[in-house]
Amino acid sequence: MPRKPKRRQLIELTVEKVAFGGKGIAHLDDFVVFVEHSLPGDRVRARIRKVKKNYAEARPVEILEPSPLRQEAPCEHFGYCGGCRWQNVAYEQQLQFKKQHVLESLEHIGKVTPEVIHDPLPAPKIFGYRNKMEFSFTTNRWLPPEELADPEIPKGFGLGFHVPGRFDQVMDIHRCWLQSDLLNGILNFTRDFFHRAEIPAYNLHTHDGVLRFLVLRESFTHGQALVNVVTTRPLGDTAKAYARQLVEHFPAVVGVVNGINARPAQVAISEEIIPIYGESTLREKLGDYEFEISPNSFFQTNTLQAERLYEVARRYAEVDGRVVWDLYCGAGTISLFVSGKARAVIGFEIVEEAVADARRNAERNRATNCRFVAGDLKDTLVQHAHTPPEVVICDPPRAGMHPEVVHTLRRIAPPKIVYVSCNPATMARDLAELTRDYRLVEVQPVDMFPHTYHIESVGKLVRK
């Protein structure tokens, strides 16, 4: 029987591989230990944090022998901020890790092996690639141990990211390498302005305070930015002063809005949008199509790589002259992207606001062969099953498809399904069911998120 470690025990481990989620995998005898902040080849002294029935979790206290894969991470917040797990790994190695994760998920969870799995498509930009960023305000910012005792470092107001595993702790961020210099400038201006204005940040324990989130969006096509300051109540004249000064410093800002969210849930969604300056939406292009993005809209966060992702999906779908269903269509990006060659496209989406965006985007692009259906896909697909499509493209959320949706797809039995996924585990789970009736002909991983463990994948399924 494997030897189980005890909580808080110090042990020496050699990391063998990387698990999905970015943690290293090591063994104590035959007992699995997941090691934070580690890479294959690291020999570490680690402290056990959690012990479960079949595995334990540990945190390194000392790297006894570093992995040859390690390199210097450029970001000063690396290791504390949870955004980039792999800045200390060469990009080519990151791509190998991601391909391994996709294949292992398919084989171990889905018990399915694709006939072909390609190397991941690398991102054209590995820094400054995100078109949307969300930051949280705090009145008591978190400090790493080396800064905590320094009396010259301010301990109060901050604007940044949540520390991993600590919902109420925010690390002050002055430069994020995943966003542009423009957005970094707006971030720092915003912190300084509201700190001087002495408006309190929202407290997650007491639910007092006003400032909650700063949501930044950037159009890579037009070089413009949309700024949303999310608060528990309207900021009034303070918001107008902020917008006026912000635009003076950053003329690329074409819109400032004040989103209102008084709910306790820590989600940067605005229940009400108050226009403060200029536009309340942003325009972005993917291929030949232009999209209007509202403050709450979902849009792929890597514009340059999203186009390549959709090109793969369109190529796999072979939509020429065919009727296409686009499941979980969101604001209609995939629907419009394939509409130029398809005979007709029907997009299905549960979020009514997203469907309204999709209809506006179709009208903007004169895509008269697109229509969109709002409602729970468990119901709407059944209602349309009497006129089945020739091709289905699905791009579900991280949780994957509902079992009833998978069942309906199998019953409708389109000749081809293209499955776009941001989560290899739930993709594998769904494909385990679909491959009862379909061959998994091809899988193309697409790296949308350099320096993180996240990976998109496109799978091509052909009916047996």
What does the alpha-carbon distance between residue 110 and residue 436 come to, in Å, rounded to a whole number? 11
Q: Where are the domains of the chain?
A: 10-65, 92-125+302-463, 132-286
Q: What is the mean pLDDT of residues 165-169?
A: 76
The dihedral sign for the CA sequence 314, 317, 321, 325: negative
3-state helix, strand, coil in the chain (%, to 5): 25, 30, 45
3-state secondary structure of 390: coil
Q: Which residues on neighbouring strands pair with residue 374, listed in sequence order? A: 349
Q: Is 80 exceeded by the pLDDT of residue 166?
A: no
Best CA proximity match to 406, nearest among 384, 366, 433, 369? 433
* CATH, domain 10-65, list 3.40.630.30, 2.40.50.140, 3.40.50.300, 3.50.50.60: 2.40.50.140
> Exposed (0-12), middle (13-18) or buried (19+): which is 209, by Cβ within 10 Å?
middle
- The pLDDT of residue 145 is 75
Q: What is the mean pLDDT of residues 131-153?
A: 85
Best CA proximity match to 59, nearest among 80, 36, 42, 33? 36
Q: What is the mean pLDDT of the chain?
A: 93
Beta strands in 66-167 (DSSP E): 132-138, 158-162
Which residues have CB under 8 Å from 48's CB, separation 6+?
5, 6, 7, 8, 9, 10, 11, 33, 56, 57, 58
**Which tens digit of pLDDT belongs to each residue from 22-63?**
899 999 888 899 999 899 999 999 999 999 988 999 999 999
- The pLDDT of residue 1 is 58
Q: State the pairing for strand pair 31-35/289-293.
A: unpaired
Q: Is 90 exceeded by the pLDDT of residue 397?
A: yes
* CATH, domain 92-125+302-463, list 3.40.1180.10, 3.40.50.150, 3.20.20.70, 3.30.470.30: 3.40.50.150
What does the alpha-carbon distance between residue 13 and residue 63 come to, in Å, rounded to a whole number? 10
- How many Cβ atoms sit within 10 Å of the Cβ of residue 198? 7
Side-chain-side CA neighbours of 284 within 13 Å: the count stands at: 26
| Range scoring the smallest mean pLDDT among 3-12, 24-33, 60-69, 338-347 | 3-12
Kindly list the catalytic residues.
422
- The pLDDT of residue 104 is 95
Start-to-end C-alpha separation, the chain: 44
* CATH, domain 132-286, list 3.40.50.1000, 3.20.20.450, 2.40.50.1070, 1.10.540.10: 2.40.50.1070
The dihedral sign for the CA sequence 301, 305, 310, 316: negative
Q: Tell me whether domains 10-65 and 132-286 share a fold.
A: yes
Percent of the chain surpassing pLDDT 90: 81
* Residue type (1 letter), 335: S
Single pTM value for the model: 0.91
**Which tens digit of pLDDT belongs to each residue from 194-206?**
999 999 999 888 8
Q: Is 70 exceeded by the pLDDT of residue 464?
A: yes
Percent of the chain surpassing pLDDT 70: 100
- The pLDDT of residue 29 is 87
Asked whether the beta carbons of 134 and 110 are under 8 A apart, the reply is: no
Q: Is 80 exceeded by the pLDDT of residue 414?
A: yes
Q: What is the mean pLDDT of residues 264-274?
A: 86
Side-chain-side CA neighbours of 459 within 13 Å: the count stands at: 30
- The pLDDT of residue 398 is 94
Q: What is the mean pLDDT of residues 311-340?
A: 96
3-state secondary structure of 160: strand
What does the alpha-carbon distance between residue 245 and residue 225 come to, in Å, rounded to a whole number? 15
What does the alpha-carbon distance between residue 349 and residue 352 come to, in Å, rounded to a whole number? 7
What does the alpha-carbon distance between residue 162 and residue 1 come to, in Å, rounded to a whole number? 39
Q: Is 70 exceeded by the pLDDT of residue 2?
A: no
Q: What is the mean pLDDT of residues 402-423?
A: 97
Q: What is the mean pLDDT of residues 176-199?
A: 97
